[in-house]
Chain A
Amino acid sequence: MSAPLLSVRGVRVAFGGVKAADGVDLDVNAGEFLAIIGPNGSGKTTFINLATGYVKPQAGTIRLEGRDITSARPRDVTKLGIARAFQIPQLFTEHTVLENLMLAVAANQGFWRWQSPLGSPAVREAAMDLLTTVGLADMVGASSNALNEGARKLTDIALALALKPRLLLLDEPTAGVSTDEKFPLMDRLAAVLRERGVTAVFVEHDMDLVRRYADRVVVWNQGRVVADGAPDAVLTDPAVLRDVVGVL
């Protein structure tokens, strides 16, 4: 079996008395879609914050393809191929949707060329492709500040995709997206990720989405991984149904 893409060993982090990660061991394998489920406040988002360097663990190590990234900063982690989309979309509110995307595309190709315009044809085209992928092609000129929550979410995901990551961490990717749009969005997203060979971890509360898109499910509760396996097995486990799914 090949080495995991992301390997977390003995990670501990607590906020005051609340343990968000309590000696967690977790591997993310290349190419898989891993869903993390668990009650609110159990530490799921903290896992994403840990993996991207936003939160430093009080103990334990995090490795990306064997390289220690435990102390790396978010921008260093990003350069190594990990991107994230946020639970609350993080956009540049002074810019239009297209400009948001062009900044993200430029960040990945020639950001420091101060004399070249942001909207060069190559960057603009790549940004438009991404907006088409997430279904926002008709909103290019809209101010990102004026979008509804669903469109903000999609823009946030497109920003992460622009970085061409190897590992994409999605925090409730369809929260705020209308019920009708959830599955089409996830279909498009899953197709793009499979096509590009991107490994994905997504924190999710919607069990229908988990069943349909996850290759593997990890159940996170009170800072611990309490179940880990195929969706069919995990989501029918009586203990998971009683302690976790029942309270989602």
Chain B
Amino acid sequence: MLHFIIILALAAAFAAIPAFFPWLAFVFTLVLAKGFAALGVAILLRAGLISIGHALFYAVGAYTVGFLSSRAGVNLLIPQLVAAAVVSGLFGLVIGLFMVRYRGIFFAMLNLAVSMVGYTLLSKLYTLTGGTDGLSIATPRVLGMTVGREAFEAILLYGGLGLAFVVGIVVHRYLKSPMGEALPAVESNEIRLEYLGIAVPRVLLFAYVGSAVLAGIGGAIHALIVGHITPDLAYWTTSGQLVLVAVLGGIGGVAGPFIGATFLESVRAAAVIYAPDAWNIIIGAGLLVVIFFLPRGLHGLIERITRKGERP
């Protein structure tokens, strides 16, 4: 219960801060985008699988919105988000059927390779994707209503926060189910799982598709808030950043990746103003502190507080 109260308090603070610092609304919407995608990466990390290619699904979500907006003329927020999730999930299904056979470094590198193929296709198929110029995305209508840019950004931030809450509950339930609890079991003893009659590839495929859907939702939010997308969204550095966010935030709970994303994007935003040349050093130092002192990430702090608070 204490854990839930702390998460609620953090979410309330997250919702309130942009009201006092409006320029942070944009940053916090990007936090949500990265948080969704990093949550997908974190699900796979629970099984000991590091994907250095999830930026591909992030880009698929973003380009689905881009195609709908600039090519198909579908400028409706909810259909764009749903389409981004579905298309990313389908990509995750097709690629996942191949990926779930691999473990360790092979899984990581194959994901990287596939994402870089995606990056190259997005860069070279100019007539379709706009090449390195990318695609521009118009502000979509919301529930059939045309809204101004400022109002749309507020809807995206608070709607995204609500979506994060709902998705967080769904993912939490999944992680507490036998299928979710089987993920760390894949890492600790895959042979025993097989000897319990459990099809490990099926367990991993479900997780992989789910993680792709989450990354796709994140990509869609990114596209909508920035209003312009380029192939860089699929580049390996974006994938690396998603892993960084997941590790920083911690994989012990669904809030972890969102906390990690808040830390990363806030530091980056502050650094743009105060230390534009030093933000990588600050992030690197933060990562070192987490690795040495918070092996369960920033979310581990909440776990510690919860344990202390609930101790009789």
Contacts and interface: CB of A to CB of B under 8 A. Distances in A.
B176 A118 contact: yes
Interface in A27-41: none
B177 A91 contact: no
Interface string B103-125: 00000000000000000000000
A78 B197 contact: yes
Given A112-B179, A115-B174, A117-B173, A74 B188 contact: no
Contacts of B195: 52, 74-75, 78, 83-84, 90, 160
Interface string B196-211: 1111000000100000
A119 B177 CA distance: 8
A103 interface: yes
A92 B192 CA distance: 8
Contacts of B191: 74, 90
B196 A159 contact: yes
B148 interface: no
Given A79-B197, A95-B185, A103-B185, A111 B179 contact: yes
Contacts of A119: 176
Contact of A115 (B173, B181, B206): B173
A93 B189 CA distance: 8
Contacts of B198: 75, 107, 111
Contact of B184 (A74, A94, A162): A94
Nearest to B177: A114
B177 A113 contact: yes
B133 interface: no
A73 interface: yes
Interface residues of A, number: 35
A71 B187 CA distance: 26
A106 interface: yes
B182 interface: yes
Interface in B47-86: none
A146 B212 CA distance: 36
Given A90-B191, A95-B184, A107 B173 contact: no
28 contacts: A74-B194, A75-B194, A78-B195, A78-B196, A79-B197, A83-B195, A84-B195, A92-B185, A92-B192, A93-B188, A93-B189, A94-B187, A95-B181, A95-B188, A102-B178, A102-B181, A107-B196, A107-B198, A111-B179, A113-B177, A114-B174, A114-B179, A115-B177, A116-B177, A117-B176, A159-B192, A162-B196, A163-B196
Interface of B: 173-174, 176-182, 184-185, 187-189, 191-192, 194-199, 206
Given A108-B197, A114-B177, A114-B180, 12 more contacts: A74-B195, A75-B194, A78-B195, A78-B196, A84-B195, A90-B192, A92-B188, A111-B178, A111-B179, A114-B206, A115-B173, A118-B176
